[in-house]
Amino acid sequence: MTSINYPRLGVNIDHVTTLRQARGEDYPCIKRALKQCLENGADQITIHLREDRRHIQDADCPIVRKITKDYNKLFNLELATAKDVIETAIHCSPDWVCIVPEKREEKTTEGGLNLKDSSVFEKISETVDILRSKIDGVKVSLFLEANLETIEIAEKLKPEAIEIHTGEFAKSFLIDSKKIESYLREFKNVHKYLIEHNIHCHAGHGLTDEMLPYLLDMNIFEEYNIGHWIISESIFRGIGPVVKDLSEIIKK
């Protein structure tokens, strides 16, 4: 893959397929969405193959794999620990796999993995071992809260990266952007630990263009995964221009 000297922009296209699945049509076309994103500055495509298949479908995964390879960009697959989802991951060989928690009743991912629960830890450990043994060269990230105790437990799994759940930060920002200092301090503390243990630091969930500069100023995240806001804003401006603007914010 082409190396870059700025944080990666990972564009999550789940909600293109949310709209498609709402009517069971063939549109909007995932291939067009992928190409628009990759031609306008996305460094990575992120998708979440949920157990309930509410948006991304198994058949979408090889499409994302092929097109990201064609554009020499990264493919990041989010998943939980369902056996059939893991089998699909093995089949499509993503560059990154981000392991996330998942509940059927949730509207979206509500927080990070609860690694303090020994049964959860063991299941994640088993999943990491399977992925690494079956997907050549795959890199693993874990979706976690910015909590040092949890991060220390996660280090035992030797992930290549931790993706910090920025959802609560994002909610706080929308209420009052002046009251986010506690979140920024947590992010810095976690980053310090990760750097000391050679683990990459990523960010994702609920982010918008207005929030991004605050995080960029800290210079701690190597990757930002943004989806829902991009697709929402695209209704008014088109997905290409929205991705291009975000890419330019990051590069500046």
Q: One of 165, 191, 202, 205 is an active-site residue; which one?
A: 205
The 3-state DSSP class for residue 222 equals coil
CA distance 200 to 8: 12
Assign residue 239 a region: left if phi > 0, alpha if psi is -120 to 50, beta otherwise? alpha
Q: One of 78, 102, 145, 223 is an active-site residue; which one?
A: 78
Sign (positive or negative) of CA dihedral 34, 139, 70, 87: negative
- E-strand ranges in 57-199 read 74-79, 96-99, 139-144, 161-165
| Angle subtended at Cα 131 by Cα 129 and Cα 134, rounded to the nearest 5 degrees | 105
78 a catalytic residue: yes
Q: One of 48, 55, 165, 202 is an active-site residue; which one?
A: 48
Active-site residues, by number, are 48, 78, 205
